[in-house]
Structure 1
């Protein structure tokens, strides 16, 4: 039988008093896997020993190198693998958190070979923004396993460079943005960057250095993807701080405009002589840019304004070519977004939009059946398509997966679905090159989503294999979203893929399972998956109505799997390993079963096979610090399988709920996804914490 020694204190809390007097806690050395220690008298220890005092390399809020002292508990003696799983080892003990190669413990040799985990991040800015003044806001969402003090990392340094001169700003406090479309909040690091020292008209490179509390600094330009990429990479920003780059304006009125008499101007005077088509307006902007601003064959930076009414899409790829920043198509009056409509016109428009295009403040309406609407012919991430403050309206037509087809990197911000239903833009199609990032949207992510933050009513997330046109998803970031599905025959969150050092962040999310959906709410490298997984950060989530299947080793292949899992609310938790598989080699996910790097989670209904802990239980070998199980919480409005089963519930815990409280100094973020302050020592775990 498994013997639990005791969880003691946990990571992130500096020990005091007598605890600090015996830092080694009786161990002789840390084993190479970094989650176990050799304890010569482990069999004689029956009560909680003092914690191990670990000195870790990291940074402070100014981005300066420093060390942090964490306490790591001895949690339990480990067992032998199947078929000897009822036998405990004589000397090996599990730890409450990982020990890394760069860590030191007074008087104890550290033979761990583990490298520090890397920060995981996503930009809330889109690529090739047009800075129209001397100050421009930059925003970066971040996650890390060693979060503390209400911040995932100690600081972020933002850097803007014109290739000769650079300006930088280090930020240690976090801010929060709420989005109109989703009503959700996204905590992040932000700065208002002064572009005055940089060359007017230059296409700047935007970089960032992330300084974790524990670990090595992460520089996006060298440690993330090469530019361009749908994964984390540097950005480009047009420095038009004086306005000298020039913004050409053209208006389109499909009812009374005239392509032969339409004019372009550097101001709104062009409104008096509109064009009839977008294509003619784009061509005229390119000519105006050449004659007025010296930018030949370049419509980029220009703005085409559509007057209120219905506009059938006309291809304008050659006319709308852009170099530095996208051509913009927008409503002439943003307040009339609902009635300023761009449609597919009922027929396919292949390769019809320029390689860089931004559409904002419009309704995009589907009128045809199986037609291609927006397509730039992208075969790589070199193309960029941005939608902002738009309404996507299926117009009660049937779904077609290539309505938005080959557009390359597809960035959506603050977009929502119209009354005619969801056209499911950005969804899977066998030959498409669509790579979605969604920020603050309602139901607009699509299934080729690389990153999503602050989005509501998302039906699913599926990891997609790379193609020749679409790179592998790496460093996935999914934060402060609400996923809800009542019909899927697959898990709502379905990830079965190698997760390497760049990691996966799943933070602050709600996953709601209801209706006829009976599969796992979340499947992460489980159910026969043979992919390794490391640097998985799973914090402040609520998984409601169904189970989470996490990091199984239930086949014949043994690989390493581990995660940092804190402050989550699970309905049921399943972790299968060597005993389930009858495979003695399947021990690579034991850090998950022994809850290494876990803290203060609640599992309402235990696992699917056992309410307790032990070698045969899918719940794991032992509880982590602050873990409770078997106590379902009460929510303000539970509409999952456990409630009326209609979906769209309010998963704010009521005062009747018994949930762990986040320990002082340990919160990963300052606010939850609805904007409530997370107050360590008072706020409860989960995606939503009631106001304190």
Structure 2
């Protein structure tokens, strides 16, 4: 139904019996969705022809357009939301006339979707609300009884009411029977694993008592605040599309109440025997006849007299009694499992530090899985692992990789080199000593989630798919095995970053690639320096990279440093050739503290690269350059060309309530409580600072759009008024 919304601006016309009615400020929304044609060009105020000015006074009463938007509520039911799009400024012309405004085209503060309705205005937008970006963040492939715990995180550019999405719903399915949907709208601080930083998640405990004994899966749907049916993210759609287990698709478990109550047990301890050790569902019996090694225990599980042949490996638990050695070998027989994998855990009464599985050589257990499409799994829970020789590895079978889950574990590796072959890693609450190559992508392997990890990377790489709740020191460049799948960096502290290499680099890999779904939310990057004008702290499609980006959320990050060191290089459309033009759409940049804020497009190409003929084609970041989707941005230094706005390296307009540095030498100081990051070209930091904001910080009171309930320290974010920029409220 069309709405008659009085806007209070523009010329008026008479309506019979109703007096003058408002003429909408805009006549039409353009196809790109973020610009519009002003309804009465002759009424454009004179001051908007000066490009840096806004249509309305910042913080006052800007000119707005009322929009009715289709979406969803906290139950997953359809809803409609009234919002206001703010007219921020005239859209500029492209190079070489970039200092001039267009005749009547104005930029909006954010996108109008094709499903939005503006009374009296023609909506030509071709943009639609994207699907949320989500991930399961709990261990799976577990043996359960009548209940299963689940957790996921979700993000969307149209966040509101201190939540990223309206709701999520989850159900269990055994292929014949499905549970009722469990709908969750509020987030909680998770206690599932030993996170290094609080992780805000959607979570629930689902009753699965109606399901049959055997394997089942969880499936989920994520409902954005704004969007139609095509904007709902469904895990089953990804499963049908044969998505990788790394993506937001099914997560499997195994239900067996009897087996969960009395799983097959084997104990491993010094002095045990692989030839006489016994599996038993009775803990005392198993403890009385322990094995010497994990490999020996797995080899014996199907033994007619010492194993539990009818149980196979589904949910089997190997308990470490002490600091065991000689854990190596190859199983000569298949070690099958169903929906749940084997668990290696500490024995009751043994401290985690004393329950250690040391490698003596490579461990090849011959694991297989009877559930079609699933890789076999091992979970190391509440134990320690030790590795000292580069050739000591976990081996999966060719064509049947092994899934390795480490949950509340401690890992010491003095060897270096890849620790697995034909395997994929999942980390939940892990503390590393000398972690080299455990978190980085390797040949034929993936690191599918890095949650709650504490590690000194010593300038080695991580695989940046799902990195949450972690403290990672001395991180180097990130490298993904599939850069088109998007990434999630959330609730991390990246410490002691020495800026000798690009630390958090995100880019599509080749010409024509489209990277969909980039999340960089509520992280701290502590840049201590290493040399003047060092590497960026954050790169999202920057210098000489390729491919487009769609749906990027950069919110509430604190990136320290100054001048060029630790800078943010965002949404570039440049390059020395004509075949790598890029287009960036549906970005949302809210409440970040940057060391420096840089972007490049037509102005830079015409000036910095001197490609004047090509420059007018480099307009793929104009939405970002006009502040679309941006709010409360703060930078310590000005951009690389000594400009706050409108230069070849800087956005024309950084969004409402922004504060960008105006100097490369005098900092726009956010007043951290204890700043131990780099503060000048010659003043390197020592690290270990406190990056909460002092009471009088100029980074406070800048963010109206609220998408998180908690900050990086777990403190509640405000539910009204203006929030602070940065990771801490």
Contact 1:24 1:106 (8 Å CA) reproduced? no
Spell out the pairing of 1:535-574 with structure 2 (5 A cutoff): 535-545=551-561, 546-555=566-575, 556=578, 557-562=580-585, 563-574=587-598
d(CA) in 1 for partners of 2:383 and 2:307?
A: 30
Give the one of 626, 630, 641 matched to 2:657.
626
In structure 2, runs of 5+ residues without a counterpart are 13-20, 48-54, 57-61, 369-375, 607-614, 662-667
1:639 aligns with 2:676: yes
Match of 2:95 in 1: 82
Match of 1:61 in 2: 74
Deviations 1:209-233 (A, max 9, x none): 1111001222111157635521221
- Identify if the C-alpha distance between structure 1 residues 384 and 247 changes in structure 2 by more than 3 Å, giving closer, same or farther: same
Match of 1:267 in 2: 282
> Shift of the alpha carbon at 1:284?
2.6
- Identify if the C-alpha distance between structure 1 residues 657 and 179 changes in structure 2 by more than 3 Å, giving closer, same or farther: farther
- Identify if the C-alpha distance between structure 1 residues 227 and 611 changes in structure 2 by more than 3 Å, giving closer, same or farther: closer
1:478 aligns with 2:480: no
1:594 aligns with 2:626: yes
Q: Matched residue of 2:465: which SS? A: strand
Match of 2:641 in 1: 609
Contact 2:429 2:451 (8 Å CA) reproduced? yes
Give the one of 106, 124, 127 matched to 2:140.
127
Segments of 4+ moved more than 6 angstroms: 19-24, 288-291, 350-354
d(CA) in 1 for partners of 2:71 and 2:618?
A: 33
- Identify if the C-alpha distance between structure 1 residues 638 and 178 changes in structure 2 by more than 3 Å, giving closer, same or farther: farther
In structure 1, runs of 5+ residues without a counterpart are 1-14
> Shift of the alpha carbon at 1:625?
1.3
d(CA) in 2 for partners of 1:512 and 1:641?
A: 8
Q: Matched residue of 2:300: which SS? A: helix
> Shift of the alpha carbon at 1:366?
2.1
1:308 aligns with 2:348: no
RMSD: 2.8
d(CA) in 1 for partners of 2:198 and 2:429?
A: 12
> Which has the larger displacement, 629-638 or 370-379?
370-379
- Identify if the C-alpha distance between structure 1 residues 596 and 623 changes in structure 2 by more than 3 Å, giving closer, same or farther: same
Contact 2:499 2:527 (8 Å CA) reproduced? no
d(CA) in 1 for partners of 2:308 and 2:107?
A: 70
Give the one of 406, 413, 420 matched to 1:387.
406
Give the one of 176, 182, 186 matched to 1:164.
176
- Identify if the C-alpha distance between structure 1 residues 228 and 31 changes in structure 2 by more than 3 Å, giving closer, same or farther: closer
d(CA) in 2 for partners of 1:182 and 1:687?
A: 20
> Shift of the alpha carbon at 1:351?
7.6
Match of 1:668 in 2: 707
Spell out the pairing of 1:31-70 with structure 2 (5 A cutoff): 31-42=30-41, 44-45=44-45, 46=47, 47-48=55-56, 50-70=63-83
Contact 1:139 1:191 (8 Å CA) reproduced? yes
Spell out the pairing of 1:86-105 with structure 2 (5 A cutoff): 86-105=99-118
Match of 2:470 in 1: 455
Contact 1:56 1:67 (8 Å CA) reproduced? yes
d(CA) in 2 for partners of 1:290 and 1:680?
A: 60
Spell out the pairing of 1:570-581 with structure 2 (5 A cutoff): 570-581=594-605
Match of 2:612 in 1: none
Contact 2:218 2:252 (8 Å CA) reproduced? yes
> Shift of the alpha carbon at 1:531?
1.1
> Shift of the alpha carbon at 1:403?
2.5
Give the one of 196, 208, 229 matched to 2:245.
229
- Identify if the C-alpha distance between structure 1 residues 241 and 564 changes in structure 2 by more than 3 Å, giving closer, same or farther: farther
Q: Matched residue of 2:298: which SS? A: helix
- Identify if the C-alpha distance between structure 1 residues 572 and 24 changes in structure 2 by more than 3 Å, giving closer, same or farther: farther
> Which has the larger displacement, 154-163 or 485-494?
485-494
> Shift of the alpha carbon at 1:682?
5.3
Contact 1:231 1:473 (8 Å CA) reproduced? no
Spell out the pairing of 1:191-206 with structure 2 (5 A cutoff): 191-199=204-212, 201-206=213-218
> Shift of the alpha carbon at 1:436?
3.1
Give the one of 394, 399, 404 matched to 2:416.
399
Give the one of 366, 371, 385 matched to 2:387.
366
Match of 2:503 in 1: 492
> Shift of the alpha carbon at 1:117?
1.5
Contact 1:479 1:507 (8 Å CA) reproduced? yes
d(CA) in 1 for partners of 2:305 and 2:336?
A: 12
> Which has the larger displacement, 257-266 or 220-229?
220-229
- Identify if the C-alpha distance between structure 1 residues 360 and 483 changes in structure 2 by more than 3 Å, giving closer, same or farther: same
> Shift of the alpha carbon at 1:632?
1.6
Deviations 1:617-654 (A, max 9, x none): 52211131121223321112222112761223221111
Q: Matched residue of 2:353: which SS? A: helix
> Shift of the alpha carbon at 1:275?
1.1
> Shift of the alpha carbon at 1:300?
2.5
Contact 1:515 1:647 (8 Å CA) reproduced? no
Match of 1:513 in 2: 527
Q: Matched residue of 1:251: which SS? A: strand
Contact 1:341 1:364 (8 Å CA) reproduced? yes
- Identify if the C-alpha distance between structure 1 residues 452 and 465 changes in structure 2 by more than 3 Å, giving closer, same or farther: closer
Q: Matched residue of 2:295: which SS? A: helix
d(CA) in 1 for partners of 2:178 and 2:483?
A: 31
Match of 1:688 in 2: 727
- Identify if the C-alpha distance between structure 1 residues 115 and 384 changes in structure 2 by more than 3 Å, giving closer, same or farther: same
Q: Matched residue of 1:279: which SS? A: helix
> Shift of the alpha carbon at 1:124?
1.4
Match of 1:9 in 2: none
